[in-house]
Amino acid sequence: MNRRLLPTTVVGSYPKPNWLRRLIREYEKGEISDKVMRRAYDDAVKAVVKEQELAGVDILWDGEMRRDEMTSYFARRIEGFTIYGEVRVWGNNYYPKPAIVDELRYKDELAVSDYKFLRKITDREIKVPITGPYTLVDWSFNEYYRTREEAVYALAEVINQELRRLVDEGANYIQIDDPAVPTHPEEIEVAKNSIEIVTRGVNAYIGMHMCYGDYSKIYPEILEFDVDQIDLEFANRGFKDVEIFKEYEFTKDLGFGCVDVHTRRIESVEEIKDNIRKAFSIVEPKRVYVDPDCGLKLLPSEVAFEKLRNMCQAARELREDLEG
């Protein structure tokens, strides 16, 4: 795909405005109508898109204002899932864990209407993030299929249908979020096959985002995945992982996580420029996409904005240097 040098993008989520959080709580208590809630989400998306535009992001998404998190949101929209009560994970965080209890089938849509709404309110390029089948299965109970593998492939077929619809509507850049893949190197073959199913007949630029896990256990195997870009986090681990990817020729575009989403410290433009330069030791600059390590949703929104703005400024300055 023909893009400017060092395009800047986001991984997906952005902090929800406080007023939206309050409305969601009221909605859950039944105090406001579906219609009012829908309008509130639309307004939140408009605000977040404006912030990303002001920060200078080239390829954006809607900040996932409508998504509570990345597993159950999709599970609720796919036939064959049910959602159990809250399951405790990562210390004191709770989330509703989905279970596969029947044959998985495509129901309605997963992100098509979100994409269409966004298309109406921005001229910038859009990237649509969808949680990958491997991660959705890994983070759910499987009470229907004989094996995990079977469940993953069935879900991959469902997601393939969604991707085809997105492309029919005009989407040309889709990101498969698969953070569970690096945590199960022993099943890398299953993950790879699932991506082949997901992307079959999908005429779009495909990125794959993977945070967590030990990258050395899945590299160079991930180069075999049928995607155009691999998007990884580097800032959170102090860019030590750069070494892993120098060992073999990196044959994909690289989404280079160069800003840490786990700290409120705002990296300076100079610091981020130095960070981005580290990517050039893996691939040539024209294959590098610049983004934060992961979604920004856990940060205060003013911090998220400053980080994005500095990141985009850093990319702009480096672009000018490179283009001379």
Interaction mask 132-171, Zn ion, x per CB under 5 A: ----------------------------------------
200: helix, strand or coil? coil
130 lines the binding site for Zn ion (CB under 5 A): no
Task: Write the burial class of residue 141 (CB in 10 Å: 0-12 exposed, 13-18 middle, 19+ buried).
Answer: middle
Task: Write the burial class of residue 147 (CB in 10 Å: 0-12 exposed, 13-18 middle, 19+ buried).
Answer: exposed
Q: Which is nearer to Zn ion, 64 or 162 (CB)?
A: 64
Helix, strand, coil percentages in the chain from 3-state DSSP, rounded to 5: 45, 20, 35
CB of 24 to Zn ion, least distance (A): 22
| H-run or E-run covering 154 | helix 148-168
CB of 294 to Zn ion, least distance (A): 3
Q: Which is nearer to Zn ion, 136 or 294 (CB)?
A: 294
What are the backbone angles phi and psi of residue 207, rounded to the nearest 5°? -110, 155
Interaction mask 277-296, Zn ion, x per CB under 5 A: -----------------x--
Q: Which is nearer to Zn ion, 74 or 145 (CB)?
A: 74
Q: Are 210 and 245 in contact (CB under 8 A)?
A: no
Q: Which is nearer to Zn ion, 98 or 255 (CB)?
A: 255
Q: Please calculate the CA angle 302-272-318 and round it to the nearest 5 degrees.
A: 120
Q: How far apart are CA 165 and CA 304, in angstroms?
A: 31
CB of 71 to Zn ion, least distance (A): 13
Interaction mask 28-67, Zn ion, x per CB under 5 A: ----------------------------------------
CB of 211 to Zn ion, least distance (A): 3
CB of 209 to Zn ion, least distance (A): 6
# of chain residues touching Zn ion (CB under 5 A) = 2
Interface of this chain with Zn ion, residues 211 to 240, rule: CB under 5 A: 211
CB atoms closer than 10 angstroms to residue 53: 14
Interaction mask 195-214, Zn ion, x per CB under 5 A: ----------------x---
CB of 189 to Zn ion, least distance (A): 22
User: How far lies 8's CA from each of 55, 315, 316, in Å?
Assistant: 10, 7, 9
The residues that touch Zn ion, with contacts defined as CB under 5 A, are 211, 294
